[in-house]
Chain A
């Protein structure tokens, strides 16, 4: 079988992977921004109102709703193409070496499918716990802010992170997300042919920074909630 699955060449598939991946990273920043408004609660006299209003906006705004479809499509394409590419890669070496090589190069790049699979499992659990709970199951309390009724997503999040097991699961998965991103961001630029003697070192540095600040930013929230209640 040739490597021409779906009538896309190997490079085209990788370009799609990288473009979608970069789009997903922008979503991670947006999501983190909204999450961080939860920390408002832990200031003296603070509440989860900002978070609830933001969550409401994300759930109802028409532009966001269109992008929600794009986002789900993006996740699906990233996962589907990632799987196809990986299966082809496994098939490209039917007989393994007795002594596997271990070049001293990007260690995280060797485990993208594994960290990706873990992130996928996390994503399913995370969506079931929050997104589908709000959208489909609907068994969420409500809260009135300035005379308007909102889903009390803030209370749902606060309740979830009372369990230490849940907190640990989230924090560990954020670490794996960091491993994934550490290779992903700079690799996307290489795939898109954006390699330059001046800017590539900067992109690589940025990749490391993103792989640290995103997981740390995300991990702060469950940790703060757990240790403040």
Chain B
């Protein structure tokens, strides 16, 4: 396969970036999208140019490191899949592929296609964990948990924190990510102990980071590689209203 690539190049966070066009030839349709970029980078290194920076780690769709906005879609043309899992056969031979970094004020570009997603880490640090002592490992059946609730919590926990929801949202809102992280804990008894403080702190941090507001458009759900549902956002809103109205005044 021969392809024309339009790739965002930006030396560092301070410099002004721009698109640069590259041509790659004889790419196997069975190559992964990131392998195609590896091939391009090999060529660039041979030519003495700077290779294209892009985040990647596991390359099997579970780590959430890869973050490419390909032809107007985060993680490229396929649904429910990260870009590292997309194969070149999904593209037409001879076509032009535009590759951009995630665009959000809260995700500043570090270099080329690599963005700083530490805003997500700070949201998790604000409360996306359980800090009460829950003792040793309990017997599997000691705490009865509704199977449907357990499944919902598991589905929410599938979020890999890649940031595709922010990237695709017209408002660069992080509501789907934050709501998944709130939900996975709020649905289970161990998480409910700190639920009221957690949701308020995480939403406060989300707002502080400069993400946009949710307009219930649903683009995040449509583009999420892990198919996180909008119902999580409703659950977070519910948790938030409950905490604001029902909980005692607390210092966040």
Contact = CB atoms under 8 A, between A and B. Distances in A.
A70 interface: no
Contact of B72 (A2, A10, A97): A97
Contacts of B172: 89, 92-93
A26 interface: no
Interface residues of A, number: 41
Given A9-B204, A10-B203, A193-B237, A98 B19 contact: yes
Given A100-B72, A105-B217, A192-B237, A2 B171 contact: no
Interface stretch (A11-19, A30-38, A53-61, A213-221): A11-19
B117 interface: no
Interface string A72-100: 00000000000001001101111111111
A162 interface: no
Given A97-B100, A98-B98, A3 B72 contact: no
Interface residues of B, number: 50
Most buried by B among A3, A99, A112, A190: A3
Interface string B152-176: 0000000000000000101111000
A101 B213 contact: no
A105 B215 CA distance: 12
Given A193-B241, A194-B234, A89 B217 contact: no
A195 B221 CA distance: 15
Interface of A: 1-4, 9-15, 85, 88-89, 91-106, 109-110, 112, 183, 187, 190-195
8 contacts: A2-B210, A9-B207, A14-B213, A88-B212, A93-B103, A93-B104, A98-B19, A99-B98
